[in-house]
Structure 1
Amino acid sequence: MRTGSGDDAEDWAAAGRGDGEAYGRVFDRHRDRVHRHALRLVPPEVDVDDVVAVVFLEAWRRRRSARLVEGDLLPWLLVTATNVARNATRATMRHRRLLATLPPAEHAPDPADRHDDGAAVAAFRRLSPADQQVLALCVVAGHREAEAAEVLGVPIGTVKSRLSRARKRLGAQFAEQTAGPPAPPTAPTTTAPTMTAPTTTGGAR
């Protein structure tokens, strides 16, 4: 559901002039939303707090070009979080591949190995960045398609078509995640032959 207050314009302009308190208010206003969004995108071994920090650092670095939608910086932050989370996940995958080339060490149980984010989150992570962005803006954050188009810098028709395709792909991925393993084939049943006693004719002698 959309909760952006549209109060960012004044604070963000002041932050651009070097007002640290104004920047802090923007950070406090949107930190939790960005954190929850990043959780949907990264595997458990990625530090979500690091992702959030990079998002707001990037916002500060690009403070003169960041796009506000009706005075709200959250849509831009969510798009940036999608890109940062994707890069962090790729870095983690490269680290895993590097570790796989090293001699095996004695394994210590990791609590993250037992962590399950659920089928919906797993399905969302498997989508392309473009699908994640449009779903994050229009479905998760509840922004209008016109607002998503503004922050993404694309025509509204593009947002509508992306959103339609993204919903279908998410549904397909979710169905794949929740589908159970195929049932094992059942052995054919055989009926044991019935033994019948021979019949005799005639009386006893």
Structure 2
Amino acid sequence: MTDPEDRDDDARLLVRLALGDKAALAVAFDRFAPTVTRYAWAIAPSRMDVEELVQDTLLTLWQKAAAIELPTESLLPWLLVVCRNHARNLRRRQARAESDSLPDDLEAPPAAEEAREHLRWVRAEIDALPTLDRRICELCLLEGRSYSEAATILGLSVGAVTKRVSRSRTRLKKAVMHDEH
């Protein structure tokens, strides 16, 4: 793991990207691709779609770097919004292609709507977690931080973070199983 002092902050990285620095693109990929990939898995149905979303998101970063204004110190929220927008566009293209290939008397199943509703339900369950557990989920799942980083930020041991994540997963899994039956 790199020392935070050795890493460019996101604003400086953005300037380098805007200047066409390909090494900055590699840094951005190394820094953000794991988190964007995890996020894409939450909103895309297949590995191929996830890969496409990650590539499109980072390509958009490369192409629009000069016009991006960061409202916070982090580039990650902007990337996640871009990823979500690419996912919406992908779903629209897929729905159009699917509806074009179906006979007129058949309609596509509402799988995307069901998945969206299920994701809303999971988010509600995460929101219902105790404050500390919810914050751990935010750090590890949404921001892509390691258990070790989350432990340092929250002043906990790695074991405590691991145990809380495990407990939260078990709670969510039970809630999902209860909802499905």
How high is the TM-score relative to the length of structure 1? 0.48
Higher helix residue share: 2
Q: Is the 8 A contact 1:27 1:56 kept in 2?
A: yes
Partner Cα distance (1:22, 1:32) in 2: 16
1:87 aligns with 89
1:61 aligns with 2:63: yes
Unpaired segments of 5 or more residues in structure 2?
105-113, 123-136, 144-171
Q: Which amino acid is the alignment partner of residue 44 of structure 2? A: V
1:191 aligns with none
Higher CA-based Rg: 1
Q: Which amino acid is the alignment partner of residue 178 of structure 1? A: D
TM superposition outliers: structure 1 runs of 4+ over 4 Å: 119-122
Aligned pairs, how many? Answer: 121
Q: Is the 8 A contact 1:46 1:92 kept in 2?
A: no
How high is the TM-score relative to the length of structure 2? 0.54
Cα deviation digits, residues 105-163 of structure 1 (max 9, x gap): xxxxxxxxxxxxxx988612799xxxxxxxxxx94536xxxxxxxxxxxxxxxxxxxxx
Partner Cα distance (1:77, 1:33) in 2: 10
Superposition CA RMSD, Å: 3.6
Structure 1 residues 15 and 6: CA distance shift in structure 2, 3 A: closer
Higher RCO, 1 or 2 (CA under 8 Å, sep at least 6)? 1
Q: Is the 8 A contact 2:10 2:75 kept in 1?
A: yes
Structure 1 residues 35 and 125: CA distance shift in structure 2, 3 A: farther
Identity rate, percent: 29
Q: Which amino acid is the alignment partner of residue 21 of structure 2? A: D
Q: Secondary structure at the match of 2:24?
A: helix
Q: Is the 8 A contact 2:14 2:66 kept in 1?
A: no
Unpaired segments of 5 or more residues in structure 1?
103-118, 128-137, 143-170, 181-205
